[in-house]
Amino acid sequence: MTTNYVATIDPFPHQSPKLTKMYPFYDHLRKGRLVTTQCRECRHTTWPPKTICPACASAGVEWVDLPEEGTVIEYTIAERGIPAGFSIPTIFVLVQIGPVRILSRLIDADPDQVETGISVKPAVVQVPGTPYDPERFLPVFKLKTK
Ligand SMILES: [Zn+2]
């Protein structure tokens, strides 16, 4: 098979069952659910999701939903050096959501609307596919309007 796909500059993760054990994460994401893994033995919750619990080394992990609301812990507004495929400016946020902290992007927001402590909600964006992963999705956040 010939392809023009250039893996070395692809900024997005593989998501197909053939390429990653984390494919259930992306399957949930494409259905609008932000999930991660939790250990059945010690109940430790990880981010990013893992196949083995980093707290007790058990392979008995299960998928659990994260809450519908999180809080911005830190943020930065990037206007230069942004990877291809990201908007300018890009608002990067560190979000406390349930027991985990997620570094992601805030979309559909003006830089003036961002400050630490604001409430955000998980959202999903589609990103360019590859010959191996025609449809790919990433978790992002949007402002939570009360
Ligand atoms: Zn554990």
| Ligand 1 centroid from CA 63, angstroms | 13
In whole angstroms, what is the distance from residue 97 CA to residue 3 CA?
39
Q: Which residues contact 65 (CB under 8 A, 6 or more apart)?
A: 33, 34, 35
Does the pLDDT at position 84 exceed 80? no
| Ligand 1 centroid from CA 38, angstroms | 8
The pLDDT value recorded for residue 3 is: 57
The whole-model pTM stands at 0.89
The pLDDT value recorded for residue 113 is: 95
Q: Are 109 and 87 in contact (CB under 8 A)?
A: no
**Joined tokens for residue 141:** 């956040």
By the CB criterion, residues less than 5 angstroms from ion ligand 1 are 39, 41-42, 44, 53, 55-56, 58
73: left (phi over 0), alpha (psi -120 to 50) or beta: alpha
